Amino acid sequence: MVYLALIALIGGIACGIAGLDNTAPVEVIVSHKDLILYILMFLVGISIGLNRGIIKKIKEYHIRIFVIPAGIIAGSLAGGVVSGLLTGLPLNESAAIASGLGWYSLSGVTLGNLAGAQAGSIAFLSNLLREIFSFFSIPLIAKKLNYPSCIAPAGATSEDTTLPMMIRYTDEETVVLSVFNGVICSAAVPFLISFCYNFF
């Protein structure tokens, strides 16, 4: 699966660079990516439904379901501060860049407006790298640590782009936690970027 994902990613980038994104099959796929995601989520819902007792397990988590997004936000901000110390960027910019939690499109544009083109570019590329890293680290983390920890590198993308890898390498229960985490992190990103940039 990892190899297939890598081939699909590199193939897509190559098509984009070569200008093939306007050809019929590629354009159809790209313009219908939301529909593909919805079909995937419907199929995931079927998988979850076939797994008896999973909803009951999720309910049992109660307030503890928030530990994953809380850990991701705390860890990301700490990592942003460390990166800032190493690169010499101001603390507020560093924390704000890390606050993207993998959501490269939003963080790139927002930081670009707040702190200038360079910070915007770093936010875009670092969060993009985080998303790509998540794809390929999920199988390793699932094997070496545990399933819920796979959600950590994915951050805000755990409800959409990295969800397919979560589906392949973890279980239905973790997929539900992953979607929940993605919703919380995605909602937090705009506030976190603004808060970190203005108050750190």
Partner 1 sequence: MNVIIIMCAGILISKIFFPVKWKHINELMQLICTLLLIFSMGVLLGSREDFLNTITTVGFQSFLFFLFPAVCSVIAVYPLTKIFLNKKKNGKDEI
Q: Is 179 in the site for partner 1 (CB under 8 A)?
A: yes
Nearer to partner 1, 22 or 199 (CB): 22
Q: Among 50, 56, 59, 199, which residue interacts with partner 1 (rule: CB under 8 A)?
A: 50
Closest distance of CB 197 from partner 1, Å: 14
Spatial neighbors of 53 by CB under 8 A, at least 6 apart, are none
- CA angle, residues 119, 125, 127, in degrees to nearest 5: 95
Q: Is 45 in the site for partner 1 (CB under 8 A)?
A: yes
Closest distance of CB 67 from partner 1, Å: 4
For the chain, the helix, strand and coil percentages under 3-state DSSP, each to the nearest 5 = 85, 0, 15
Nearer to partner 1, 116 or 198 (CB): 116
Q: How many CA atoms lie within 13 A of 48 on its CB side?
A: 20
Show contacts with partner 1 in window 110-149 (CB under 8 A): 118, 121-130, 133-135, 137, 141-142, 145-149
Spatial neighbors of 18 by CB under 8 A, at least 6 apart, are none
Q: Among 168, 190, 195, 200, which residue interacts with partner 1 (rule: CB under 8 A)?
A: 168
Q: Is 197 in the site for partner 1 (CB under 8 A)?
A: no
- DSSP secondary structure code for residue 62 in this structure: G
Distance CA 152, CA 166 (A): 11
Q: Is 68 in the site for partner 1 (CB under 8 A)?
A: yes
Q: Is 91 in the site for partner 1 (CB under 8 A)?
A: no
Q: Distance between the two ends of the chain, CA-based, in angstroms?
A: 41
Q: Among 80, 115, 192, 197, which residue interacts with partner 1 (rule: CB under 8 A)?
A: 80
Q: Is 74 in the site for partner 1 (CB under 8 A)?
A: yes
CA proximity to 139, closest of 167, 159, 117: 167
Name the token pair of 198.
Answer: 């203005």
Closest distance of CB 88 from partner 1, Å: 9
With CB under 8 A as the rule, give the number of residues binding partner 1: 100
Q: Is 188 in the site for partner 1 (CB under 8 A)?
A: no
Closest distance of CB 75 from partner 1, Å: 3
Distance CA 36, CA 141 (A): 26
Distance CA 61, CA 139 (A): 24
Q: Is 2 in the site for partner 1 (CB under 8 A)?
A: no
